[in-house]
Structure 1
């Protein structure tokens, strides 16, 4: 991984909120002997090497204590924050990061995120100038996802910038029966972000817009503000994150199989 040179340094912030409504204490859940947030940190560190500054941003002292015991950089942030983006901004301000620095936001519930995806996304951001904000899209491969509101869809302009994000199916094929809509025409959003520090401060200083509150998608605030979001396309979907006990069981099984494969 090359340095960010004159355009600023690279920082990775891993937001980790203790109080998940569906899975309380989620960051500390044991995944094959290792807390989930530690596994996420290890994946990011392996993908981006020691040249990139990585810090976990959490809302709970229990997470701070566990990470400090392992020597993992961590910052305690305001428990009132509504998003990981707000946690990223607080860390950036407190640590005095430069307006030209690049901040990558990797969610703390993605222990199986591919290292190649992270490394390629950061390289894409380094190679893309100018850049205020970027995110990731992958092909949509399951027809059921078209009507699944938990799967966020997006459309991209010829410039490579996002046009819009929605929980609804976009585009809407007016003259084609829904069961015949071509999946190759759809993209699924993956919640990994990068922000120029100056853009992050502008984004978090603005109030939520109406469209963001309707869809419950914070990235719509950036579009509403006229902030361009560059889209990095990855050819395949990464493994899902952890939101439920079923997800925990699935990830534990994958880690167990991977361990057997290396033995």
Structure 2
């Protein structure tokens, strides 16, 4: 299975400025991510950056990087430009690994590539894992996904889905007494695409549900595209969104089980 990993890297993070270059155990975070991705079965790993400093940092540590425009409104737009710059054919498989996931399991990258390779009817692939904590299920910052019998996504939401009608303590909204069974699924923000769909996706009109939920993948569902879901047994390591997240990940790299 041949596929390319593209890692979008944007310097203008509001919660953690210059995030791609944040130091983790002596290396920029984006380099850590690229090194993890290189441990997968990908034939090529490329960082798509919006700043020459990121490109230079990657190249200084032996990782391939290219410079993309700074005015992209989303990561998928940056990926589409990267596909053009790399000259990828429309049927080429691409996995989008977020640039703030320095602990992403390489096997998960392979699995997300394979779920799309095995499902020609799908335009995208992604991943999820079971939720075992009630607070996580009701947390709007945790994105949930529900699937059909063939593990094709029906919907993604910040709401607790599927809604357990008879599972509330007192009938009030959100007052669940326990998790539904089978366990609900937490969406993991890693995606696989065919390059042809990536070129098409930024041209699709934004969907009302996408705007309401602030979830870009809902645009694909709105326009009739299918998203295949790989369900993994374990959650990936923590990502980095805030200074507190960065310190947590630094502690993991500094520990005895450092990657």
TM-score by length of structure 2 reads 0.92
TM-superposed CA distance for 1:141, in Å, is 1.9
TM-superposed CA distance for 1:209, in Å, is 1.1
Asked whether 1:18 is paired with 2:11, we answer yes
Question: What do you get for the CA RMSD once the two structures are aligned?
Answer: 1.7
Q: Is the 8 A contact 1:125 1:134 kept in 2?
A: yes
Partner of 1:105: 96
TM-superposed CA distance for 1:116, in Å, is 2.1
Alignment size in residue pairs: 252
For structure 2, the 5+ residue unaligned runs are 169-175
Deviations 1:92-145 (A, max 9, x none): 122221111111000000000112222233233333334421100111122111
Asked whether 1:74 is paired with 2:65, we answer yes
Partner of 2:195: 197
Partner of 2:46: 55
Change (3 A) 1:122 1:249: same
Provide runs of 4+ in structure 1 moved above 4 Å. none
Partner of 1:36: 29
| Distance in 2 between residues matched to 1:47 and 1:162, nearest whole Å | 25
Secondary structure in 2 aligned to 1:80? Answer: coil
Asked whether 1:126 is paired with 2:126, we answer no
| Distance in 2 between residues matched to 1:120 and 1:209, nearest whole Å | 28
Q: Is the 8 A contact 2:113 2:125 kept in 1?
A: no
| Distance in 1 between residues matched to 2:86 and 2:158, nearest whole Å | 35
Pairs within 5 Å for 1:127-146: 127-146=118-137
For structure 1, the 5+ residue unaligned runs are 5-9
Q: Is the 8 A contact 2:115 2:228 kept in 1?
A: no
Q: Is the 8 A contact 2:129 2:234 kept in 1?
A: yes
